[in-house]
Structure 1
Amino acid sequence: MISADTTSQLLTIPPLENGDKLTRAEFERRYHAMPNLKKAELIERVVYVASPVRAKTHGKPHSRIMTWLGTYEAATLGVETLDNTTVRLDADNEPQPDALLRIEQGGQSSITEDDYVEGAPELIVEIAASSASYDLHEKLKVYRRNQVQEYLVWRVYNILSKNCIKKRPLNSGGASPLSSY
């Protein structure tokens, strides 16, 4: 149960809104004050609040990605798959990718005492329907700068009305389609 003092404090903290320009500390303060908010990200100090997700254009592809990564994790010692987990990349960026894979010991990221991923995971995956332009531009730049090694974007809608998965090896700057459906 929330105390009267806590309720009063929560009411004085402004809500997160798309387009807000915030520090990471202020972003986290506001995010924690909105327990019903499921997903918000800070990219280059700009707040992005996610739209509700749909079954066929997000839920099903997301489930397939998690199955694939979970299978890989089960067969590969020392890696960890995480779902919709906040990543503290740097002072200006706190994304919440759909999925990620990290090396547990000796990788680029760690788990903080307050249970966040800090640093760049080895692989980040996004399911991109309404978020495609944002995932393929702003986030791509941030992930490249922070040395995420692999970035996989499943574009559920594309120009040809086909599903398309794009894999971006971020160290070379290129993009190669893995498959089209």
Structure 2
Amino acid sequence: MFEILKTLVKTTGLSKRDFTVLTEAATTLEVWGPEVADIFYDSILAHQPTANLIQPEEKERHREQLLNWYCQLFTDDFSKTFWRAQWLVGLVHVKRNIPIHTVIAGMSRIQLYFLAKCLHEFEPDYARIVYGAFKRLTDVVTGLFVEGFFETYFEAFRKTSGIKQKVIHNMVQMELNKLIEHDRQQLQQLFKKEQTGN
């Protein structure tokens, strides 16, 4: 997990300065928390397959958990505990069968809301700085969720099947080659249809 984190931090440009920026603005940012939680869960509950995964009586508990998660983004110093907690949140989404694309879409909605609030509340230059810090941080968190999703499935399959990691990797590569070839053919057919108007 920490190797993945290092790569994500480096490629996004997340820094301790981002933590400082978010901490300094925390008093304002935390006020937006309830709306952030609503936006995230409204997007998940509007999507029929995931709406069925969260019972109506569970919504408030999940909303509170997301609100706590959101506020933690501005109070932690990016410690190992903080990052391990982000990884765990991703694993819980896997266990609940919440599709990762839904989580990514929900995070995108949170980021767009956050940008709008920054532009409304702060001077333009400061809004850009605060939003940039939040965007980098939540991109790293989303990256951990995605990697956790794939790694967890892979590891769970490896442990339950007893098949060695290298064998699974080779099996997956062979199947991926077939899928890629199939999708390329489908893409070519679609392209031809679009070109001929059929």
Q: Say whether the fold is shared (TM-score over 0.5).
A: no
If asked which structure has higher relative contact order (CA below 8 Å, sep 6+), I would say: 2
TM-score under structure 1 length normalisation = 0.29
When you count helix as a share of all residues, which structure comes out higher? Answer: 2
TM-score (structure 2 length as normaliser):
0.27
More strand by share: 1
Question: Which is greater in Rg?
Answer: 2
